[in-house]
Structure 1
Amino acid sequence: DCWLKTYCCRVKLMLLDDAAELMLLEQSDAVG
């Protein structure tokens, strides 16, 4: 169960990272 929690945490972090990058790209597009 412990490794499952770790895996879920990593997936969440990866998704948050992707979302942040997408937001930054959209912002830079809007500015540009």
Structure 2
Amino acid sequence: MYGAETWRTTTTIIKEVQVFINNCLRKILNIH
């Protein structure tokens, strides 16, 4: 079950990173 927990955590981190990148792109491109 360790693999499942690791995968779930990795997926959550990836989603958070994507949100962070999207926010940065919006600021750079002045999209509100």
Q: Distance in 2 between matches of 1:2 and 1:9?
A: 11
| Stretches of 4+ aligned residues off by more than 2 angstroms | none
Task: Give the length in aligned residue pairs.
Answer: 27
* Structure number with higher relative contact order (C-alpha < 8 Å, ≥ 6 residues apart): 2
What's the RMSD between the two structures over aligned residues? 0.5
Q: Distance in 2 between matches of 1:14 and 1:23?
A: 14
In the other structure, the counterpart of 1:25 is 28
Q: Distance in 2 between matches of 1:19 and 1:11?
A: 12
Any unmatched runs of 5+ in structure 2? none
Structure that is richer in helix per residue: 1
